């Protein structure tokens, strides 16, 4: 009597289609996010400063306000008047506070939301002051002015 050899195949196989779908979705996501961050940072010649602090990385709790050489203000790539800027910032504060669970009657509304003002070094002071006034009227307490490090002011050993 001849016995047959039985062959057992315990190998596993997996379908790679879902993995490829996820990779493509991640690629699209990062491409879209990088476009949004590029819109906020426009090309400006920032003023020089002898000293300052390095800006910390934000986690979505900051708004970048650009004041161009000709005096126009832009936020998220849209040109705005000081009144429009104030309305936009008040809307952002309200949305941010809802996300953070801050009550609407809180005294420190907007204190956790920060604004970075990027003003061109040749901008008329009146335009920068108008942007800063709109930020103040929107009750935002955390405001930073973007500058570049002046040449020759680096730390010496």
Sequence-ordered list of residues with C-beta below 8 angstroms from that of 61, at least 6 positions apart, any chain: 96, 112, 113, 114
Residues found in the chain: 157
Q: How far apart are CA 61 and CA 114, in angstroms?
A: 6
Per-position DSSP letters for 113-142, written without gaps between them: SEEEEEE-TTS-HHHHHHHHHHHHHTT--E
pLDDT per residue as tens digits for the range 53-69: 776 665 567 888 889 88
pLDDT per residue as tens digits for the range 90-131: 888 888 778 777 665 555 555 577 888 888 888 888 888 999
Q: Enter the DSSP assignment of 110.
A: T
Q: Which residues of 72-89 are buried (b: 16+ CB within 10 A; e: fewer)?
A: ebbbeeeebebeebbebb
pTM for this predicted structure: 0.62
pLDDT over threshold 60, residue 140: yes
């Amino acid at each position: 009597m001849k016995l047959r050899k039985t062959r057992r195949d315990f190998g596993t196989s997996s379908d790679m289609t879902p993995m490829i779908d996820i990779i493509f979705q991640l690629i699209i996501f990062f491409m879209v996010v990088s476009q949004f961050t590029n819109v906020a940072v426009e090309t400006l010649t920032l003023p020089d400063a002898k000293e300052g602090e390095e800006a910390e990385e934000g986690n979505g709790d900051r708004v970048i306000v650009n004041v161009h050489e000709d005096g126009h203000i832009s936020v998220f790539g849209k040109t705005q008047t000081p009144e429009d800027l104030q309305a936009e910032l008040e809307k952002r504060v309200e949305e941010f506070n809802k996300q953070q669970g801050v009550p609407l009657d809180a005294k420190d509304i907007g204190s956790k939301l920060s604004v970075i003002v990027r003003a061109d070094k040749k901008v008329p002071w009146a335009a920068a002051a108008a942007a800063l006034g709109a930020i103040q009227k929107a009750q935002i307490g955390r405001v930073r002015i973007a500058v570049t490090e002046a040449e020759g002011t680096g730390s010496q050993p």
